Amino acid sequence: MTVVTRFAPSPTGRLHIGNIRTALHNWMWAKKAGGTFLLRIDDTDAERSREEYVESIRADLDWLGLTPAGEARQSARFGLYETRFAELVAAGRVYPAYETQQELELRRKVLLGRGLPPVYDRAALKLSEAERATLEADGVRPHWRFRLDHAAAIEWTDLIRGPQKFDPGTMSDPVVRRADGSWLYLLPSVIDDIDMGITHVVRGEDHVSNTAAQLQMFAALGAEPPAFAHEALLTGSEGKLSKRLGSLGADHFREAGIEPQAIVALLARLGTSDPVEPLADAAPLIASFDFARFGRAPARFDEAELAQVNARIVHQLGFEAVAERLPAGMDAAGWDAIRPNLSSIAEAADWWQVVEGPVVAAADVEDAEFLRAAADVAATLDWAGDPWHALTSALKESTGRKGKALFLPLRRALTGRDHGPDMAALLPLIGRERAIERLARGG
């Protein structure tokens, strides 16, 4: 079997971290099996769907490296939906219902008040042809429900949650089409999964009850259902479901200097029994991806953890991978010297300013003579070699200083900072003339 997965966002907003995780896991499962990852734009809601969001979804997936092998749009597939819908109506599996939303809500409240589950009572099936004709003559347009088969339990083995069982008698017949003719999510999704040959559906656990209803739709349409994997939802770092997670999207992470590899590395393992590793290459993440490793507990997303993973990935990136984003003048030697001190690539500009200057350094009075001596020594060094160790060795011998008393005044005078990249790598970048001038000024 060729594995085919799909990511099916609605273009009613930007992708958020939960959407990204779903897309990633569908992509990884397809990649691991040598299969196909598809994008389906669920744009049946014409009023809320926006083309700008379609474009942003594509761009975000490309940025993350999750480029699909193909794309479908539900708005271009209405003819197919009509055909399959008509089959279900003819088979008696879809029926018209005429209650208003207010009537349904009132019935729901009555049932809840009696301590009963708010299950639709199928009153529409009790209407005679004459009663339906009267309603329609009065201008009442029906919505349409899928008629669940109450004869057998709905069962499947979820790839994450294990054996699942639902009693369809405890479920309301789901509405699949509104009175205005527009489609709800459930039925078009099933029709598309059949038509696109989807073999695996990876989505959040909030869809479990949807899956129960959709399994009967697959059967009613004469199709084998895909395998389902329902993941535990993400929670915020405070341990609760967080609305803020819905606002954390690719733009937010780009602005924060987060690399796409860091997002992939974190989300690939989040919610599994495997440790999060700062792997810049997705190949080992794909190789180890296994639904059996996913737990049932909510997966905790922490931006601080993402930032840590990001820093460790930045430290692995070669010059060629980042050259276009570095400040003008920074070469491979500059990147190699500065990279270990970065949390994000954007910080490279700050450290390059340290190299090129100007640098403001406030030397302690007791270090003034020491720094003047350092400037004199620097003027005599062979800068083609290892000027930092030559400078510190000479000063240690001539002044008797060592440790912090030796190194800190030099670092402050040369960089204006107490901490930073290895001075042995940084000093050659600063260069002879700038180094002598900074040491002399510091003294």
What would the pLDDT profile of 316-325 be if each residue is shown by its tens digit? 999 999 999 9
Residue 241: per-residue pLDDT? 64
Element (H, E) at 40: strand 36-41
Q: Which residues contact 369 (CB under 8 A, 6 or more apart)?
A: 443
Separation between Cα atoms, residue 131 and residue 240, nearest integer Å:
50
Share of the chain above pLDDT 90, in %: 93
Question: 401-430, pLDDT tens digit by residue?
Answer: 999 999 999 999 999 999 999 999 999 999
Say whether pLDDT at 1 is over 90.
no
User: Which residues are annotated as part of the binding site for ATP?
Assistant: 243
Question: 184-215, pLDDT tens digit by residue?
Answer: 999 999 999 999 999 999 999 999 999 999 99
The secondary structure of residue 294, as a DSSP letter, is B
Separation between Cα atoms, residue 429 and residue 425, nearest integer Å:
7
Least confident of 61-70, 128-137, 157-166, 244-253: 244-253
**Which residues are registered as beta bridge partners of 231?**
204
User: Which residues are annotated as part of the binding site?
Assistant: 243
Question: 386-399, pLDDT tens digit by residue?
Answer: 999 999 999 999 99
Residue whose entry in the numeric block shows the structure tokens 């990136």: 317
Residue count of the chain, please give it. 443
Residue 240: per-residue pLDDT? 67
Amino acid symbol at 383? W
The secondary structure of residue 272, as a DSSP letter, is B
Say whether pLDDT at 239 is over 80.
no
The secondary structure of residue 5, as a DSSP letter, is E
Say whether pLDDT at 152 is over 90.
no
Which residue ranges form the domains of the chain, and what is each CATH number? 4-79+184-235 (3.40.50.620), 319-356 (no CATH), 365-442 (1.10.10)
| pTM of the predicted model as reported, rounded to 2 decimal places | 0.90
Residue 169: per-residue pLDDT? 94
Question: 25-57, pLDDT tens digit by residue?
Answer: 999 999 999 999 999 999 999 899 999 999 999
